[in-house]
Structure 1
Amino acid sequence: MNEINQKTSWEVHSSFCAKNTINPIRQIVDGLNLTPNKDKEVIPLSIGDPTVYGNLKLSSSVENAVLNSLQSNKHNGYGPSVGLKIARSAVATYVTPKVTAEDVVLTSGCSGALELCISCLANSGQNILVPKPGFSLYKTLSNARGIDVKLYNLIPEKSWEIDLDHLESIIDENTAAIVVINPSNPCGSVFSSSHIKDILKLASKHKIPIIADEVYQDIVFHDQTFHSMASLSDDVPILTCGGIAKRFLIPGWRLGWIVLHDRGDVFKPEIRNGLLNLSQAILGPCTLIQGALPAILGDLTNSCFEQVISLTEENAHLCFDQMSRIPGLRPIMPQGALYMMVGIEIEHFPGINDDRQFTEKLMEEQSIFCLPAICFQLPNYFRIVLTPPTEKMKEAMTRLQEFCETHYVD
């Protein structure tokens, strides 16, 4: 028997993964001093959950799809780790006729899709390129795996288009993937086909695959057109991530997907097998919702779609018009998704040092909760969510104007 040194005291340590799984948004928000004005009702404009206020209603067709799935008694057991074929086929049809069920992996929400893509494409010591500002989950998922995140700039003056020169300047021999968020969280931008083609040209030049986060693909304003990355790619292989959360008003149902858009068989067989292997760690998302997916995705007349888009667009115009007249603020009109980014001319607010203090003081005085954009790696902006009832948004704009006029110094 091998001798071991017997421990005299307990020593239990967390893993590298646990220590390095840090959500920047939660870290920042949990550290904020958020004490609302007790005389004013809190107006939360921080969380990208369209169900919070209850003003956007779940479609009866979606509800019935789940009830039928439950009552069929067919979807209570384990399914394949990549998802039930009927559900994957429904996603393939929904996304594009150019893919099949074999090109689809179902996941636990779009965040689960992103986790699988990053884990499959990059090793510890490699890097992925992520937009700035951008959703913080990419950093959380990557750093836990020893993968570096390099931030490329978006240009606010060009409706948050990618600074392609800067993007190219940070590519190196260890770059494993480029993440493109379109429509954007947190910016609400929707890229033109010409801009997407320029992104693809750069990726093709350097032979780097793209992770396309397109979970907001259906929430674009009426004067905009969404173009998927894959629909415009001739040779760049793309992993497209999406899900049912926002369009169908069911973020808590946690069903997302990866669609493999292979070009030149670059993903065969290694990436396909890799995604299969990784999917086996969770054994697929909820089979009850998978069973309902063909009916959910097949109802293209769902009235809640127009409800979500119309309210978001109406509130976007309202907020942009109001904030454009507020001293010290620089709103940037979104084109889709659920969000608007607002610049702060911080030099005109003495005693307020940055966006974090701005949002803290706004909560303290006016009971409005916005996210400081340092959560998205961009200082001196804040993000608002555009899905509350319009009357709430009007009240928020009135309070925001009062706040800025109180603190603004020319």
Structure 2
Amino acid sequence: MLRTDIKKKKLFITNNFDRDWVVESSSAAKNCKNYIREIVDTLDLQPNPTKDVIALSIGDPTVYGNLKPSEETVQAVIDVVQSGKYNGYAPCTGYEQARDAVATYLSHDGARFSFQDIILCSGCSSSLEICITALCDEKRNHNLLIPKPGFSIYRTLAETIGIKVKYYNLIAENNWEVDLENLEKQIDCFTAAIILNNPSNPCGSVYSEKHLKEILGIARLHQIPVIADEIYEQIVFSKNKFVSTAALNLDLPILICGGLAKRFLVPGWRLGWIAIHDNSDAFSKNIRKALVSLSQRIIGSNTLIQGALPKILFDTPQIFHDNLINTLETNATMIFKLLKEAKGLLPYMPQGTMYMMVKVYLKRFPFEDISHLVIKLMEEESVFCLPGSCFQTPDFIRIVLTVPENLLREACSRMIHFCNKYCTTT
């Protein structure tokens, strides 16, 4: 290169760097929003300095340290670490013995899986992302049906890849059952999938076999596959029973998402799964291949937890699960009774999971909206609840049941005092 050419190139680079240099982000990044954080981060939350903060908002059951994984679960991981056998890459869909363990774990009440039906993922949110991405296509103008109230991650995952979401209603007065007529009205020729969350976050509902058949019957009639979010499987209170969509053995393709996070109290271990239930073979030609291809993006889930998975699933004693459910149900019953004493509030007793929804009769309070009430509750009583707008239900707040009992009692006492102070009518 001639000396004059070099000088011209240097001059070109210098002139370009003198300009404002802005790198444009992708459409996926622009579309990606955490709707809970978007709402919470706009709240000016200043706690009362004379009172310790009690957060009834966080869905992580390990936060306060009162709920811990079983000794068997912990020991299983210690053994795997010490063995040194699981430090490398695993197959993208997971080790066969780990997938086989999940298949066996999920094969109950008439449902049957083999390891070929299981894909291991980095937590249940990763399972949902892979399923939504496999079934929904922006170029085909697809939409995804999600519940209202419902967990905001569904919307986040769909909109990130340019998929429109449509909501179907849950009926609070009917233990948050699906409004079947409303669900069917939302379906159109562009509907790619229906997300069904049972047991439910944020509602704490547990659907009966009859109601599940009604929901899935609508999906089958319109030939719409279902993504079943069953991360809270088996976390159900007395007089209720968890029924997996796979146990119904209907002629309907279903992708079941689950994981260790909630039932085994290890959300940070990031081990989720997809279970393919497809009596109709509707997924065999394209979707099974798509799920495998998409799992290759993360090159497999946590290998240490995969190695420990058989022992975690089968050596954890039933008494551990029973104790967790008893704790959650005891807390739910206590909160339900206490908050009935709060003017302007109507708690809905959950049937399972780790949450309770509480209706706020906003017109009885001197607040602009639920967010304003949440801010004032924090400001005066140092109690923080998630506003229902996080779940597309603005007249509610969500309360977490995993907080230690003494703190829950204190939080309820403060809420009762606050509501009875500000509520203008009964």
Q: TM-score range by the shorter chain?
A: over 0.9
How far does the alpha carbon of each residue in 1:269-324 deviate from its partner, in whole angstroms, 9 at most, with x for none?
21000000000000011101100000000125253312211111001001111112
Question: Paired residue for 2:273?
Answer: 257
| Corresponding residue of 2:137 | 123
Conservation of the 8 A alpha-carbon contact between 2:254 and 2:276: yes
Q: How does 1:42-121 map to 2 (within 5 A)?
A: 42-96=53-107, 98-121=112-135
1:56 Cα offset (Å): 1.4
Q: Does 1:213 align with 2:213?
A: no
- Which residue pairs with 2:197 in the alignment? 181
Matched to 1:220, the amino acid is: V
**What is the aligned counterpart of 1:11 among 2, 14, 22?**
22
Shift of 1:89: 0.4
The CA distance in 2 between the partners of 1:317 and 1:223, in whole Å, is: 14
- The alignment status of 1:356 with 2:371, answered yes or no, reads yes
The RMSD of aligned alpha carbons is: 1.2
- 1:289 correspondence with 2:305: yes
Share of identical aligned residues, percent? 52
Contact 2:72 2:316 in 1 (8 A): no
In the alignment, the residues of structure 1 paired with residue 375 and residue 217 of structure 2 have an alpha-carbon distance, to the nearest angstrom, of 43
Q: In structure 2, what residue type is equivalent to 1:210?
A: V
Kindly indicate whether residue 145 of structure 2 is the aligned counterpart of residue 134 of structure 1: no
> What amino acid sits opposite 1:69 in the alignment?
V
How many pairs were matched up?
405
- Whether the 8 Å contact between 2:228 and 2:245 is mirrored in structure 1 is yes
Query: Which stretches of structure 1, 4 residues or more, deviate above 6 A after TM superposition?
Result: none
How far apart are the structure 2 equivalents of 1:150 and 1:158?
22
Choose the corresponding residue for 2:340, options 303, 306, 324: 324
Give the TM-score of the pair, scaled to structure 2: 0.93
Would you say the 8 A contact 1:200–1:233 is kept in 2?
no
Q: What is the CA–CA distance in structure 2 between the aligned matches of 1:302 and 1:195, rounded to whole Å?
A: 28
Query: C-alpha displacement at 1:36, in angstroms?
Result: 0.4
Q: SS at the partner of 1:14?
A: coil
Does the 8 Å contact 1:61/1:302 carry over to 2?
A: no
Amino acid at match of 2:123: G
What's the TM-score once normalised by structure 1's chain length?
A: 0.97
Inter-partner Cα distance in structure 1 for 2:410 and 2:121? 39
Whole-angstrom CA distance in 1 between matches of 2:320 and 2:61 = 11
Give the C-alpha shift of residue 32 in structure 1: 0.8
**Deviation of residue 325 (structure 1)?**
2.3
Partner of 1:222: 238
Q: In the alignment, what sits opposite 1:393?
A: 408
Task: Give the Å deviation of 1:390.
Answer: 0.9
Which range moved further: 353-362 or 270-279?
353-362
- Show structure 2 runs of 5+ residues with no match: 1-11
Structure 2 residue identity aligned to 1:389 = P
Q: 1:198 aligns with which of 207, 214, 217?
A: 214
For 1:409, give the aligned amino acid: T
Q: Deviation of residue 398 (structure 1)?
A: 0.6
CA contact (8 A) 1:59 1:303 kept: no
Aligned counterpart for 1:159 among listed residues 146, 164, 175: 175
Partner SS state of residue 342, structure 1: strand
Q: Separation in 2 of the partners of 1:32 and 1:11?
A: 30
Give the AA of the match of 1:199. Answer: I
What letter matches 1:52 in structure 2?
V
Following TM superposition, by how much is the alpha carbon of 1:162 offset from its aligned partner in structure 2, in angstroms? 0.3
Report SS of the residue matched to 1:31.
Answer: coil
Once residues 50 and 185 of structure 2 are traced to their aligned partners in structure 1, the CA distance between those partners, rounded to angstroms, is 51
**Which string of whole-angstrom CA distances, capped at 9 and with x for unpartnered residues, describes residues 126-174 of structure 1?**
1110000000001111111010110110000001000010010010000
- 5+ residue gaps, structure 1, are none
Q: Which has the larger radius of gyration?
A: 2
Distance 1:375 1:255 in 2: 25
Match of 1:234 among 247, 250, 258: 250
Determine the structure 1 residue equivalent to 2:34: 23
